[in-house]
Structure 1
């Protein structure tokens, strides 16, 4: 059918992790944007809930977003993480393109045969990411907040990295990202207000530093987010669907 905009579904695995700037970039690329809340806000401290996910074949792209929990938590794998992995497999089988962000990128790795485990060095703050394919994943500082890292799924190609962790991989019509391209100052303020475990201080940073750096980089990051979405649409979404 001509004249119908493609649809992207953002899976908000927790209420604090929204699509923010990433949603705006997809809108600018001509997508209709929808979102689905996975773990309700009142279940943050007991997140092993049963979830009935929407039909993945109703969308052109599905984007699992971040979350505070590990993707390998057994109680979560027995409930909604396992169900979301099944959704991602069904989506891939149907030719739906996938873009995973941080927890969502780790979820893609775990779903398609890679592994996820605690990293020796967590990354919090702005890190320079070295990309082999800047036409898909632009170089430059990207925001990080993670304690785990993946090993690549079989057949995946790593696209970007820091000295501490793989930062991007492509597998068919799926792109996994370890960093947070969606971050803006409003979203970060919410995360900092919810920093109950003192993650930022443990990383040797303070809240004002992170907010100031995020504000300073806003003019540089915005065009790189648009370039990332454009590269994803062109080089990942635009590849042939499986027969």
Structure 2
């Protein structure tokens, strides 16, 4: 299909968890971008319910993004979370590459036979991540905001971790991330506006997190581009423009 642009679908599992820097990086690599809001703003306080997802076969890559809920929440698991997990399995079977972020990464773990549970310690803010595959997932400080952790699905290989949780695994043409590579200052300000004490609970202030975000902005921009190129070439098997 020479001359046809590759397409990526970002699944906004919560309306405020957007693609941000990840969208920029995919666009730089020649991808047309579609987004689908799973839980819109008006459903944020009652997120359970049936959802009709787009046909995954129309895309080369699908990226399920973050959310504030747990993927094992029974009300969600009985409705759209199970539907989205089946979508991920159908996509993987069809050879479509998957990149999961935080909630999206946990959803992939759960969809392919791993488990997700409450973590002994939450991670919020910029946390150091150690990587076995810096060509795929660059190490360094990545932004985190999560209370749960996964166990690896059968056949998956963990390639990155923090002091408190597994941070990345590869399974076929799937890469799951526990951290948030997409976060920039603008997105973080949206999240902080809805913070109900999570940041204070780990001994930080909004100002400290935003200052650190500004300090790391240039470095993160470089590492996000490297992560997306690594995913596309080494996991998804795409040929990219030079």
The answer, yes or no, to whether TM exceeds 0.5 is yes
1:5-24 equivalence runs, <5 A: 5-24=5-24
Secondary structure of the structure 2 residue equivalent to 1:88:
helix
Distance 1:163 1:126 in 2: 13
Tell whether the 8 Å contact from 1:113 to 1:154 is kept in structure 2 after alignment: yes
**Which residue of the partner structure matches residue 48 of structure 2?**
48
CA distance in 1, matches of 2:168, 2:32: 25
Structure 2 residue aligned with 1:169: 169
Query: What's the counterpart of residue 122 of structure 1?
Result: 122
Are the counterparts in 2 of residues 39 and 49 from structure 1 also a CA contact under 8 Å? no
Query: Deviation at 1:40?
Result: 1.4
Name the CA distance, whole Å, in 2 between partners of 1:26 and 1:163.
29
- CA RMSD in angstroms comes to 0.7
Q: Distance in 2 between matches of 1:233 and 1:148?
A: 27
TM-score (norm 1): 0.97
Equivalent position SS for 2:68: coil
In 2, distance between residues paired with 1:29 and 1:204?
Answer: 38
Alignment partner of 1:76: what SS? Answer: helix
CA distance in 2, matches of 1:224, 1:29: 15
Structure 2 Cα separation of the partners of residues 10 and 207 of structure 1: 27
Cα deviation 1:214-242 (Å, max 9, x = unaligned): 01100110010000000000100008xxx
SS in structure 1 at match of 2:72 = coil
Per the TM alignment, residue 163 of structure 1 is displaced from its structure 2 partner at its CA by 1.2
Alignment of 1:26-105 (within 5 A): 26-105=26-105
Distance 1:200 1:28 in 2: 33
Q: Deviations over 1:176-227 (max 9, x none)?
A: 000000000000000000012x100001000000000001100110010000
The equivalent residue for 1:236 is 235
Q: How far 1:49 sits from its partner (Å)?
A: 1.5
2:224 maps to what in 1? 225
**How many residues are paired up?**
238
TM-score, normalised relative to structure 2: 0.97
Query: Runs of 5+ in structure 2 lacking a partner?
Result: none
Equivalent residue for 2:208?
209
User: Could you tell me how far apart the structure 1 residues matched to 2:203 and 2:163 are?
Assistant: 18
